[in-house]
Amino acid sequence: MSPAPVRVLIAEDSPTVRHHLATIINEAEGMSVVGQARDGEEALRLAQELHPDVISMDIRMPGIDGLETTRRIMSQLPTPVVIVSGMVEREVDLSFQALQVGALAVVAKPPARTDADFASRRRQLVNTLSAMAKVQVVRRWENIPGQNGLRSANWPTVVQTRIKPEIVVIGASAGGPGALAEILGGLDSDFPLPVVIVQHLPNEFMQGLARWLQKSAALPVKIVSHNMVLDPGAVYLAPGDSHLKIERQADRLVAVLIQERGSYRHQPAIDVLFESVAIACGAAAVGVVLTGMGDDGATGMLAMREAGAITLAQDEKTSTVFGMPAAAVARGAVNQVLALSNIATTLCHLI
């Protein structure tokens, strides 16, 4: 027997866009639209009635917007949510806020069928909805007054590095933007190392991610370009359409972008970054793998650990999806598993 189709609830206020999305999803093999909501209030009601496998969520809707709708769904009836966003700056900013409260991914709204990008955007939407429908999400309790921003007073002692680190590299996927915002928000403006990040995200959202993270970060946040020298005390994001390697050139660390995808499932791939740092920096590095689906980063993190680097993983309790950290742990690639609230403190302690 063929598996049951992925049941999708669409929340979108525009009738035209709603019809467009429903047609795309219903045409996809193994997917079916089970409900269509015109606003957040209707989306909440239909989520309760229909129990969809995944929700396609517009971010700007009348009344209860997509951000608040996502927050309520994650606290009342946890369901995988994919933000399907327009590309105007306000929508992108709200989309990252929705990721912070529990949405799993963000994709751009597919253009008209006559558009040159239609096929790739359609594929991106369908693949993301299908993948996120498999995630077992957890309840996000409503914030309790007076308990926002609490951090553990007793953070675990990590294995000490014998060589002074010269770079921090971080890999993240589903749930990553919110985790990155918390970590970067915990690093002071005098943090002395470059922080290089691969976050699985469509390329069109990377500039928006940089702007959004900058609101939390004391360090400057920028998208790397090919042959860019990495300066201490700055955050560098890989673009969404190229692999990122770190090389040592004339005793400087330099970002090298590779456009060929190769056999990697993701581009950029965390493994490419981590493996290059194992070669370029050896023990003088710290690697961090955060929340995300799959196993990207596990192989590269093992290479880093075998080279003598310190390797950290986000714990299951604070991960939106424990797939990538769990894979790295299973490979024996991780020195220490930490709660998200302890990672920035630990990085500062190691440095």
Q: Which residues are catalytic?
A: 173, 200, 296
Considering only CA atoms, which of 76, 313, 294 is closest in space to residue 179? 313
Q: What are phi and psi of 256, to 5 degrees?
A: -120, 125
Torsion of CA 47, 121, 239, 273, to 10 degrees: 80
Are 307 and 335 a contacting pair, CB within 8 Å?
no
Please work out, in degrees rounded to the nearest 5, the angle formed at the alpha carbon of residue 314 by the alpha carbons of 96 and 103: 25
In angstroms, rounded to a whole number, what is the distance separating the alpha carbons of residues 48 and 303?
46
In angstroms, rounded to a whole number, what is the distance separating the alpha carbons of residues 215 and 288?
22
Tell me the chain's radius of gyration from C-alpha atoms: 20
Are 305 and 335 a contacting pair, CB within 8 Å?
yes
In angstroms, rounded to a whole number, what is the distance separating the alpha carbons of residues 119 and 24?
10
Give the 3-state secondary structure of residue 170: strand
In angstroms, rounded to a whole number, what is the distance separating the alpha carbons of residues 95 and 288?
24
